[in-house]
Amino acid sequence: MEAMQDTGNLISSEKVEGTNVYNRAGETLGSIHDLMIDKSSGHVAYAIMSFGGFLGIGNQFHPLPWSVLKYDTNIGGYVVDLDKQQLEGGPAYDADAEPDWRDRTYENKIHDYYGVGPYWSM
């Protein structure tokens, strides 16, 4: 496969998946597993972060509002103002129990936990 060219301020979802997520202390919290994109606006709503487990077993997925992640070119990853304990207390689901993404109550719970407004009202 041919190497992807630099796309300036844009990035392919292929390059986002697997990118590490760090806290401000530089600790690795997990990595981006997937992105959830709003079909109507085309904006990224959530980065689904993989956290925990061993060799892919027991992983939990944490939906983070896209607005809480900031890309840091110096470390080549995303930085969030969270520590592992805060992340562990946040909304999460197991690989075999994906939430109903049509449920605004669940999505509001995510945004309330991280203290940011919902993507659909921005």
For 58-79, how does the pLDDT look when each residue is reduced to its tens digit (9 = 90+)? 678 999 999 999 999 999 999 9
* pLDDT digit string, tens, across residues 13-53: 888 999 999 999 999 999 999 999 999 988 999 999 997 65
* Longest distance between any two alpha carbons in the chain, whole Å: 43
4: pLDDT confidence band, cut at 50, 70 and 90?
Answer: very low
54: pLDDT confidence band, cut at 50, 70 and 90?
Answer: low
Residue 3, pLDDT score: 43
Percent of the chain with pLDDT over 90: 61
Residue 2, pLDDT score: 41
Q: What is the pTM of this model?
A: 0.85
Tell whether the model's pLDDT for residue 11 goes beyond 90.
no
Percent of the chain with pLDDT over 70: 88
Instruction: Give the C-alpha distances (Å, rounded to integers) separating 50 from 1, 23, 78.
Output: 26, 14, 13
